[in-house]
């Protein structure tokens, strides 16, 4: 579908940006070169009368994206996780992007539920409320199970949302291609990669079975976490376009007055939010990547309840260890070790000077540690760290950007609960425990045990690998027969290399 017909969509997009006063804001955020600015204004300025007016009370970029509809709102939300692309100021503005849209009728939602579950709504639910929340992709209803009387939350995709998103994403790809063709200097922004990342996020959110799976996995990982719980997934009442969860009763974690009136310890809640996130990211490598106040409640017994699992973050074991060592190095103010970790992980090109990089990191860390404890910001540290690594040629890693963004959000939640909270005092024991378990002597012993298990599993294949390699070598013409012994040694090396590769594939 990526053809010239998308020009109409791009013209309306440009016209709306101009009419909302957002064109310069967006182009400046992307540091767009002159040729790209010329194309953008050509597509927008003469046709601004075709643009949507939007809500004048909103900031320009937010106003334009909200007016353009669900796909653009979601695109803005995804870009809010990429300050490396749009800049910190724009990312901050997009984080507060309005995600409240006019709901679709209750009767339409009930029809969707019947279609997906294959049963009449009245047979499944004794009550089914009007929408209580409406977002860009889906809306939520409160319902009561007819069989048990249990209250549940029913999430239903908007009718036709898949088709609408496909059309808009198609236009985004077309726009990204235009940017690459008309402004080669803008290729450093990797527009096609950004759209591809957005496409993947949306595809995952348009199949609620995947969100149900994420919720289930997250619940399994966190089952032993004290003071934290998740609403259970009702698998028999969930499908591709419908998701049913247990109802979460509690106070909004952002309502300090209500929390105080209920007698909750806000300082303890803030520390728990932060330590839970770090544990999920480091221990499990699977974390809730949208942990703002709107997605958490506090139960009557003080438990933190999290919900809405549309955006989850995943980092592999190796990246977790690198991230932990970086944090631990900053906590200990060991900038040389932090620099070495970046080089060992291949994040910074080996051609750069490690000592110079360590000095640059010291310039990042020391001003922050010189602040009063209440002003120390892990989010600010990570932001400065990415600025420095960019100067030293570090390539952007999406999983770390999402981790950074979530860290900033979680830190904001913790400080909203208690402005005096010392972020580093809370983080230190979590990171130290992970370092001891995953990088210290116990971790070495564990890794050696895993290696032995892999060798035991693949060991029986080694003779066959060696034999096949030797036969393949012997069948090749060889003008110098005296070198056969060396070729056999080389073949053995190849076989061992294959075995080691298999081993590391299994371990990492």
The set of catalytic residues is 290
Find out whether 85 and 194 touch, Cβ atoms under 8 Å: yes
Q: Which residues pair with 233 in a beta bridge?
A: 245
**Distance (Å) of CA 424 to CA 334, 379, 431:** 15, 11, 10
Helix 88-95 × helix 60-68 angle, to 10°: 50
Strands 286-288 and 242-246: unpaired
Secondary structure class of 419 (helix, strand, coil): coil
**C-alpha span between 161 and 10 (Å, rounded):** 19
Tally Cβ neighbours within 10 Å of residue 452: 11
The closest of 139, 149, 146, 151 to 119, measured between CA atoms, is 146
Find out whether 98 and 73 touch, Cβ atoms under 8 Å: yes
The closest of 242, 207, 241, 214 to 230, measured between CA atoms, is 214
The closest of 164, 245, 162 to 207, measured between CA atoms, is 162
């Amino acid at each position: 579908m990526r053809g010239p017909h998308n020009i109409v969509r791009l013209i309306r997009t440009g016209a709306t940006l101009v009419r909302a006063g957002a064109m310069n804001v967006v182009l400046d955020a992307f540091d767009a070169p002159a040729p790209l600015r010329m194309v953008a204004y050509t597509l927008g300025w003469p046709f601004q009368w075709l643009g949507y007016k939007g809500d004048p009370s909103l900031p320009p970029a937010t106003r334009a994206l909200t007016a353009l509809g669900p796909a653009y709102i979601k695109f803005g939300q995804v870009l809010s996780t990429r300050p490396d692309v749009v800049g910190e100021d724009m990312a901050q503005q997009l984080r507060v992007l309005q995600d409240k849209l006019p709901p679709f009728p209750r009767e339409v939602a009930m029809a969707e539920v019947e279609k997906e579950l294959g049963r009449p709504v009245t047979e499944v639910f004794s009550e089914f409320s009007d929408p209580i929340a409406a977002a860009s992709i889906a809306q939520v209803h409160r319902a009561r199970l007819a069989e048990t009387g249990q209250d549940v939350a029913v999430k239903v995709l908007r009718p036709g949302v898949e088709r609408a998103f496909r059309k808009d994403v198609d236009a985004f790809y077309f726009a990204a291609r235009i940017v690459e063709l008309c402004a080669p200097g803008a290729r450093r922004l990797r527009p096609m990669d950004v759209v591809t990342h957005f496409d993947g996020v949306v595809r995952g959110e348009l199949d609620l079975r995947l969100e149900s799976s994420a919720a289930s996995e997250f619940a399994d990982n966190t089952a032993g976490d004290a003071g934290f719980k998740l609403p259970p997934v009702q698998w028999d009442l969930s499908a591709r376009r419908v998701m049913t969860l247990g109802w979460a009763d509690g106070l909004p974690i952002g309502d300090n007055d209500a929390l105080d009136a209920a007698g909750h310890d806000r300082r303890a809640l803030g520390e728990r939010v932060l330590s839970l996130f770090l544990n999920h990211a480091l221990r499990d490598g699977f974390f809730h990547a949208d942990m703002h106040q709107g997605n958490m409640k506090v139960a009557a017994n003080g438990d933190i309840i999290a919900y809405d699992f549309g955006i989850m973050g995943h980092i592999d074991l190796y990246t977790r260890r690198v991230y932990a060592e970086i944090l631990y190095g900053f906590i200990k103010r060991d900038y040389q070790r932090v620099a070495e970790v970046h080089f060992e992980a291949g994040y910074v090109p080996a051609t750069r000077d490690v000592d110079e990089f360590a000095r640059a990191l010291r310039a990042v860390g020391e001003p922050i540690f010189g602040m009063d404890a209440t002003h120390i910001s892990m989010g600010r540290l990570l932001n400065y760290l990415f600025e420095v690594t960019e100067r030293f040629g570090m390539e952007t890693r999406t999983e770390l950007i999402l981790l950074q963004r979530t860290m900033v959000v979680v830190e904001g939640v913790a400080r909203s609960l208690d402005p005096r909270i010392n972020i580093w005092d809370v983080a230190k024991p979590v990171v130290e425990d992970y370092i001891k378990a995953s990088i210290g002597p116990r971790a070495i012993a564990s890794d050696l045990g895993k290696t032995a298990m892999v060798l035991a599993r693949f060991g029986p294949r080694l003779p066959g690998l060696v034999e096949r390699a030797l036969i393949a070598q012997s069948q090749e013409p060889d003008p110098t027969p005296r070198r056969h012994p060396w070729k056999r040694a080389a073949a053995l090396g190849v076989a061992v290399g294959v075995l080691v590769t298999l081993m590391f594939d299994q371990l990492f």
